[in-house]
Structure 1
Amino acid sequence: MERARPAGAAGSAGAVGSVEHVIETHALTKRYGKHLAVDRLDLTIPVGSVFGFLGPNGSGKTTTIRMLMGLIEPTSGRAQVLGRPMPRSTRSVLPHVGALIEGPALYGFLSGRDNLLRYDSADPTADPRTRRARAEAALDRVGLTAAAGKKAKAYSLGMKQRLGLAAALLQPRRLLVLDEPTNGLDPQGMREIRTLVRELAAEGTTVFLSSHLLDEIEQVCTHAAVMTRGRLITQGPVAELAAGARGRLVVTTPDAGDAARVLKEHGVTDLVVSDDRVTGEPPAQDGSGQEMELAELNAALVGAGVRVRGFGLERASLEDAFVALTGEGFDVAG
């Protein structure tokens, strides 16, 4: 397995001009023998966004990132990062990019602090006069100051993730690429990483965040793309993606059983009854093919003697959007 080196660790920085999109791909494809890992991907990531790259494990996310970062060659198609073609322009692009891909590659016999110093010394664009101060600032930012002197081999998975993120933050970056950054973190650690991502975006860094956790993407990202089985399903602002899916109908009533029966008779599907709460997928049309008003469902419940205490639609989530787009659940694909 290839491991990501700290971005900018090879080559000299060239001029990378102002661009509208930090990443653009056209028909980007990667094939391993008969296996099509990424299939004709057209991706557009706007400057200043927190972009969520969303899909089950095995959907092609990491393969895409490795092509974007110049770690592997595409089979066909093209990609641009910061307006420059990749992988041909790695020497000029990578000094402007921080990356954490497939987990950090660490020197286990070195402390967390010394790992960062080693990474930074391998970067020809890094100023050695500020090296130690920048390493300390990066450690502090990811909450590793207290463990900075401990050997990396003694770090937990979550601590290693934090250290890899610190390596990506040793210098200011125009683009930060994070592949499953909360892997191995406890809930508090996940919240801290989400807060850090928001802070970096507020400071002007575009963040490209790959994850299979829908809730993570929905909480922190402004834009997102959905991948499944190597293909791009959709992309755009997160609010628009979620708005494209219908929310679930929610009825609160002490007559939950009767409510479920009436709703089923009127075309509501995927019914779930839990105590005094009934949820389901509302029908798009009534029996005559006309668009159904939710008020009609409410009236049907009341007419059947159901005591309705609450009635409405829950806002659709990214998970709802994914199911609507793909017709399948968001399970790990391997």
Structure 2
Amino acid sequence: MPQPPAPEPDGARPPDDGPAPSPPDDGPPPRPAGEPAIETRGLTKAYRGGRLAVDGLDLAVPRGSIFGFLGPNGCGKTTTIRMLMGLIEASAGSARVLGQPMPAAGRRVLPKVGALIEGPALYGFLSGRDNLRRFDAADPYADPRTRAERVGRALERVGLASAAGKKARAYSLGMKQRLGLAAALLQPRELLVLDEPTNGLDPQGMREIRALIRALAADGTTVFLSSHLLDEIEQVCTHAAVMARGRLITQGTVAALSATVLGSRGHGRLTVTTPDTADAVRILKEHGLTGLEAADDRVTGELPDATAAMGAPGGGAPPDLAELNAALVHAGVRVRGFGTERASLEDVFVQLTGEGFDVAG
């Protein structure tokens, strides 16, 4: 992560007047909006001894998506992010960010990108507000005349307005994460790259950051985030990619990834909540469900596919859920809950990699 700008002498403040320089206008024109916000082809990073941290990565992050980047510790996620941001060079392959090649177009691309990678670098002896003022002053495209407004707006968005005057060294880990995110939001961004954005936050803070991420995506910002919290990714992300051992295993919409796992099990898994578990198991078995399990007041079973359903009542097609519910009620089963389960991202990960999930690498 780039270090913050060098501090000015005590008592000094960034200049408050003078026009901001115009962004460079050289280079190719913007690409169509349909082009991915991030696209890699065969992106590879090899270290001494030939160890591959990232091996032939083909990644496509749709514009306007909230994209979760998943994988166990050491799988190459952070190395990938560093290559995308031009912090390290790739050994092979290519990467395009916002339609332009990286790192060659870094000076044109990075002003449109906000990033929080491996935690924020802050001046502990400065307040949260003054940290943001210095970050803003280091941006050659930031108009100093509107600095106070930008800083105040960023603090408000991450819920730090009331703590803006407190020294950063007194901030909790979660508050520091919020301040780092505020720094990434000082200017309007086309792309946000966030590494563990909810690290150190309490449940309320996590909900607030999730809401902020959704709001940014609704405004057209693409959000690319890595997290070891699978439930967190599942709640906020529209798309996801899974990495293991430096390779991309799969990518797509969260719904499609879950559907893939459910499809491998048939048409999904049905859950019935009832005190009459024995009768429920009998009725569900008659209608072609397999893998039936009963525990306490809960019965689960695999919904059959079309082939398996041939021997079930009405054969040739999976049972209609409304008719299945009606059959349970008609048999005197007291149904208190009825529905199908969607595979979680943890299910997806285990299905695809055959291993558990560890913290982000």
Contact 1:249 1:280 in 2 (8 A): yes
C-alpha contact 2:239 2:252 (8 A) present in aligned 1: yes
Matches of 2:303 and 2:122 in 1, distance apart? 51
Q: Measure how far apart 1:70 and its partner are.
A: 0.6
State how far apart, in whole Å, the 2-side matches of 1:148 and 1:232 are: 41
Letter in 2 for 1:314: E
TM alignment of 1:74-89, pairs within 5 A: 74-89=90-105
Shift in Å at residue 140 of structure 1?
Answer: 0.8
Structure 1 segments of 4 or more deviating over 3 A? Answer: 4-7, 11-16, 251-264, 266-269, 271-274, 278-295, 305-312, 331-334
User: Would you say the 8 A contact 1:12–1:91 is kept in 2?
Assistant: no
Structure 1 residues 251-290: aligned runs within 5 Å = 251-254=272-275, 256=277, 268=290, 273-279=294-300
Report whether the alignment pairs 1:214 with 2:241.
no
Question: Contact 1:218/1:238 (CA < 8 Å) preserved in 2?
Answer: yes
Q: Cα 1:144–1:312, aligned 2, differ >3 Å: closer, same or farther?
A: closer
Separation of aligned partners in 2, 1:187 and 1:293: 40
Q: Find the counterpart in structure 1 of residue 150 from structure 2.
A: 134
The answer as to 2:107 corresponding to 1:97 is no
Amino acid in the other structure paired with 2:211: T
Equivalent in the alignment of 1:30: 45
294 and 32 in structure 1: CA distance in 2 versus 1, 3 angstrom threshold: farther
Please report the RMSD computed on the Cα atoms of aligned residues, expressed in angstroms. Answer: 3.4
Distance in 1 (CA, whole Å) between partners of 2:152 and 2:293 is 52
The aligned amino acid for 1:191 is R
Check if 1:250 corresponds to 2:266. no
Report if aligned partners of 1:251, 1:308 keep a CA contact under 8 Å in 2. Answer: no
Q: Gapped runs of 5+ residues in structure 1?
A: none
Residues 105 and 291 (structure 1), Cα distance of their counterparts in 2 relative to 1, 3 Å cut: farther
Residues in 1 aligned to 2:304 and 2:76: alpha-carbon distance in whole angstroms: 34
Against the structure 1 CA distance between its residues 103 and 170, is the aligned structure 2 distance closer, same or farther, given a 3 Å change threshold? same
Q: CA deviation at 1:6?
A: 7.2
Write the deviation string for residues 163-187 of structure 1: whole angstroms up to 9, x where unpaired: 0000001111111111110111111
SS, match of residue 74 in structure 2? coil
TM-score, length of structure 1 as denominator length: 0.83
Q: Does 1:17 pair with 2:67?
A: no
Structure 1 or 2, whichever has the larger Rg, is 2
Alpha-carbon distance between aligned partners in 2 of 1:283 and 1:6, rounded to the nearest angstrom = 58
Q: How far apart are 1:58 and its partner, in Å?
A: 2.7
Report the Cα distance in structure 1 between the residues aligned to 2:359 and 2:277, rounded to whole angstroms: 33
CA 281–74 in structure 1, closer or farther in 2 if over 3 Å, else same = farther
Pick which of 26-35 and 38-47 moved more: 26-35
- 1:121 is aligned to 137
Contact 1:4 1:100 in 2 (8 A): no
SS at match of 1:245: helix
Q: Which amino acid aligns with 2:348?
A: A
The AA in structure 2 aligned to 1:39 is D
Distance in 2 separating the partners of 1:35 and 1:133: 48
1:54 to 70, 74, 86: 70
2:339 maps to 1:318: no
Determine helix, strand or coil for the equivalent of 1:42. Answer: strand
1: CA distance, partners of 2:224 / 2:136: 22
What TM-score results when the alignment is normalised by the length of structure 2?
Answer: 0.78
The answer as to whether partners of 1:100 and 1:164 remain within 8 angstroms in 2 is yes
**Structure-2 separation of matches of 1:5 and 1:161:** 15
For structure 2, the residue ranges without an aligned partner over 5 or more in a row are 6-20, 263-267
Mean CA deviation greater in 161-170 or 26-35: 26-35
SS at match of 1:212: coil
**Distance (Å, rounded) in 2 between the aligned partners of 1:272 and 1:100:** 45
Query: Does the 8 Å contact 1:249/1:312 carry over to 2?
Result: yes
Q: CA deviation at 1:259?
A: 7.2
Q: CA deviation at 1:57?
A: 3.2
1:153 to 165, 169, 182: 169
Partner Cα distance (1:66, 1:261) in 2:
56
- Return the offset for 1:233: 1.4
The Cα shift of 1:146 comes to 1.0
Deviation readout 1:204-229 (Å, 9 max, x if unpaired) = 21111222222222222222212222
Cα distance change of structure 1 residues 327 and 258 upon mapping to structure 2, 3 Å threshold: farther
> How many residues were matched structurally?
324
Taking a change above 3 Å as real, the CA distance of residues 5 and 85 of structure 1, as seen in their structure-2 partners, is farther
CA–CA distance in structure 2, aligned partners of residues 102 and 212 of structure 1: 13
Whole-Å separation in 2 of the counterparts to 1:176 and 1:49: 11
3-state SS in 2 of match to 1:71: coil
